[in-house]
Chains A and B, each alone.
Chain A
């Protein structure tokens, strides 16, 4: 897979490039927004990693430009030092597929990149059962086993668990989760989702010790992260 990395900081481009190559992909680095847009017009990439603050065009401008100018545009990960809640939700709502704040652990970045590429290369067929770390999901019985112990979940809790594991390392919007699990776009009480996520987290012990953590993207949604340095 070809990954475009745009950042005006050479060190970062190199750092990210190492991670991408470590996953068996190739990368092209850009230090300037205009250079990236020119390349996007005549070259094909499977993923674009964008910095927000860049000379030429900013990350947000490139994102908007891509929405309009590029047919079948590749997925985009915004990667920036901006940490404000508003910035993150703005970028995701503008069409970014994920958002990573610098600095981030290389393992986490790798997992996130893989999550995006996994999705864009077509969803894998649904297995009747799947294993993620020490968690085994039985989709027929709708049961989860963790370290040989069966965990009792309600139907909605299982669906939420399944959805998050299948989309691990990917940021899911609250709306997406609501519509997928509850199959409604009605305006659910926001606390309902918070409570379900909380129960799944505690029932399944989704903690770093067990190699996973649930991360709340404030004002946007949730992400189930796999931790490379977990057990």
Chain B
């Protein structure tokens, strides 16, 4: 993001500055040198034909030889006028300035001769700057001549910065459209000639917005206008027919006369002022002046290629950009040439400069920004990653950016190694695991979890993955577990069988970002097949044992049923029942030691009553009265009913065994509170001989039996009390044995009360 913002700013800066420079170059016409050069080159291919209506009468070297040094006597010009007046040409422009009065006789003669000509146009010129602070002074022809002429026009030339005459203005003075008396407008001499010959403004003149607007002169090739020597006309060597119907321009062409100016013909040579006039007149007549585009248009169109490139910078590779740049240069030049053939001049210099400027500057700024960014990132990376080895300095000095790039490559390689290390570590985890993203798609699967996914589990939806892995009967349970995301606790797990009949315990942990945002889940699978199988096997063994030990006893008891109740039969029955109890206690003990506690709500009073009821036949045989006094007020505990039931049966059975005939056994249930905790206490008191003092401490140990003492009349199973103690402990309760004062044993059991359930009305 940082780099993006920085580059955005840099780009805007480059675009703004580039555009401003382009606009400024055009506005101040700073690139005229380049543009003129291009103009000269391009215009070479499209030179107009010279008009045959135009004839130049030149004061050339021959004339000077014939008539002597310049200036000549004005009588000589009067001679020319006389000859020309006779020939009746369409119009005559006399491009020789006669603004200072000479000898008045000569001047009068010249004026008289001039008056003979129908369409004579004379030049005026401006002295810039003018005298007395005026912008310019107007130098008109001398008054008699001015009167004789049809009209006068200015002959000032416009020089480009390189001194070349490329343009002209068709008028001089105020704004052409504003017909204000104060603002004088002097049309160009050639415009006046055109008007004289054609009787109206030229089309080019009418299109002008103002006299400031200059037009580019469409030069014909040098010397392509017809030209004859002044002498030959004055000497009568030219027939009058040749002169009639022509527009005649009279001017100096001899080198020594100074009226020679550089022109854009590509040869670096000069051209006589009068020939330049001829070219202008040709342009006026053919209406093929070349119109430069306005500054605004120039700016807008010059910016287009620059902006194409600027926008392209965002998307294109540098190689594309350079190709596009060259393409744009070609397009600009071609457009210029094409427009020129349509007589419109678009100066391509600024557009080219724009391209040439923006490309390297942007390249530089981009490189700078990238370099700074790499520098920052590398610093950050180094500060966060302490174990990254420092890059060995390379041989010899290198470019800074190269160095940064090498460091970056180094850092990336380090990252890649790290990533590979992590990925390898994950892949080779000893237990199967997979990672899911927030979209519930599998993002990573390690090697072990991968088995069974030949086509890869990457990007598989979690549900699909489960369907391919979990046995159908466990599928819903697993899904329920995974749906419990919000209440997910660290140690929750779920057991399930896989399709390949393995048993797994699955745990799920959250993947959190640095900011604590949930990003996905890791699922660990532990293969507990062996453990589960072992537990299963143990359970089967226990069941088998239970069954096989009980069955023969059951058979013995069944056999005895039909027999007389002889003393020996009674003893056999007693032993069979003892064996049964032993088997039950043994299996029960083994089972509670190998299984997890899973309790349910138990109404303890009823459980005790039923245990007591079950021993009623035994007690009745010996006249013993065993009664339950329930003061527990419907107390519930959380417990395992089977083992608890068996425990109370064992305790009451013991009491019956050690009680004398016709005695009483009292069982009392009460609620008591100990250390702010609620318990149900069960106190079982008999009227027997009590427990031997030395046995009291070992009573609940395995195979401890009261029968080692002579006091005991009946033999106990040994395992019974051990089982009871284990069960009570498992329920978070306590058991205590003691002797009451007037003889007899008393067992006190405390079991924690179950919490109150939420009330549901019936």
Contact = CB atoms under 8 A, between A and B. Distances in A.
A229 B636 CA distance: 32
A81 B550 contact: yes
B543 interface: yes
Contacts of B606: 194, 197-198, 201, 214, 216
Interface in B526-576: 543, 546-547, 550-551, 553-555, 557-559, 561-562
B547 A53 contact: yes
Contacts of A12: 551, 554-555, 558
A215 B559 CA distance: 26
A213 B551 CA distance: 26
Nearest to A209: B616
A216 B607 contact: yes
B547 A18 contact: no
Contact of B617 (A16, A190, A219, A229): A229
A198 B555 contact: no
A105 B547 contact: no
Nearest to A198: B606
A213 B613 contact: yes
Interface string B733-762: 000000000000000000000000101101
B281 to A, nearest CB: 115
A11 interface: yes
Contacts of A106: 561
B649 to A, nearest CB: 12
B602 to A, nearest CB: 8
Contacts of A189: 757, 759-760
B645 interface: yes
B584 to A, nearest CB: 7
Contacts of B61: none
A190 B561 contact: no
Contacts of A9: 551, 554-555
A218 B551 contact: no
Contacts of A201: 606, 609
Nearest to A196: B762
B558 A198 contact: no
Contacts of B610: 213-216
A38 interface: no
A84 B558 contact: no
Contact of B641 (A102, A209, A216): A216
A24 interface: no
B634 interface: yes
A195 interface: yes
Interface string B592-615: 000000001101011101100100
Interface in B487-544: 543
A85 B642 contact: yes
B559 A15 contact: yes
A218 B605 contact: no
A195 B634 contact: yes
The range of chain B's interface size is: 35 or more
Contacts of B607: 216
A58 B393 CA distance: 81
Given A188-B760, A191-B636, A81 B547 contact: yes
Most buried by A among B555, B559, B630: B555
Contacts of A190: 601
A15 B547 CA distance: 18
A11 B558 contact: yes
Contacts of A207: 613, 616
Contacts of B620: 208, 229
A80 interface: yes
Most buried by A among B543, B550, B557, B613: B613
B580 interface: yes
B232 to A, nearest CB: 135
Contacts of A87: 543
Interface string A189-231: 1111011011001100001110001111011000000000100
Contacts of A102: 550-551, 554
A123 B551 CA distance: 35
A198 B606 CA distance: 6
Interface in B613-646: 613, 616-617, 620, 630, 634, 636, 641-642, 645
B762 A188 contact: yes
A82 B551 contact: no
A216 B613 CA distance: 12
A17 B555 CA distance: 13
Most buried by B among A18, A191, A192, A214: A191
A194 B603 contact: yes
A111 to B, nearest CB: 14
A182 interface: yes
Interface in A164-195: 182, 188-192, 194-195
A81 B757 CA distance: 36
A83 interface: yes
Contacts of B603: 191, 194-195, 198
A51 B641 CA distance: 24
A201 to B, nearest CB: 7
B400 to A, nearest CB: 77
A190 B550 CA distance: 33
A103 interface: yes
B762 A218 contact: no
A229 B551 CA distance: 25
Contact of A219 (B641, B760, B762): B641
A14 interface: yes
A82 B642 contact: no
Contacts of B554: 9, 12, 81, 102-103
A86 B337 CA distance: 101
A205 to B, nearest CB: 11
A218 B641 CA distance: 6
Contact of B546 (A82, A85, A156, A202): A82
A147 to B, nearest CB: 18
Contacts of A214: 606, 610
B561 A83 contact: no
A182 B762 contact: yes
A102 B583 CA distance: 13
A84 to B, nearest CB: 7
A191 B550 CA distance: 34
A103 B543 contact: no
A178 B605 CA distance: 21
A85 B603 CA distance: 17
Nearest to A52: B547
Nearest to A187: B760
A84 B760 CA distance: 31
Nearest to A182: B762
Nearest to A15: B558
Nearest to B760: A189
A179 B562 CA distance: 42
Nearest to A202: B630
Contacts of B547: 52-53, 80-82
Nearest to B619: A208
A13 B641 CA distance: 31
B543 to A, nearest CB: 7
Interface in A68-101: 80-85, 87
Interface of A: 9, 11-12, 14-16, 18, 52-53, 80-85, 87, 102-103, 105-106, 156, 182, 188-192, 194-195, 197-198, 201-202, 207-209, 213-216, 218-219, 229
18 contacts: A11-B559, A12-B551, A15-B562, A16-B558, A80-B547, A83-B546, A84-B642, A87-B543, A103-B557, A182-B762, A195-B634, A207-B613, A208-B613, A208-B620, A209-B616, A213-B610, A214-B610, A219-B641
Given A82-B546, A83-B546, 12 more contacts: A12-B554, A14-B558, A80-B547, A82-B543, A83-B584, A83-B642, A103-B557, A182-B762, A189-B759, A195-B603, A198-B603, A214-B606
Interface of B: 543, 546-547, 550-551, 553-555, 557-559, 561-562, 580, 584, 591, 600-601, 603, 605-607, 609-610, 613, 616-617, 620, 630, 634, 636, 641-642, 645, 757, 759-760, 762
* Nearest 7 interchain pairs by C-beta: A15-B558, A81-B550, A102-B554, A208-B616, A218-B641, A11-B555, A103-B554
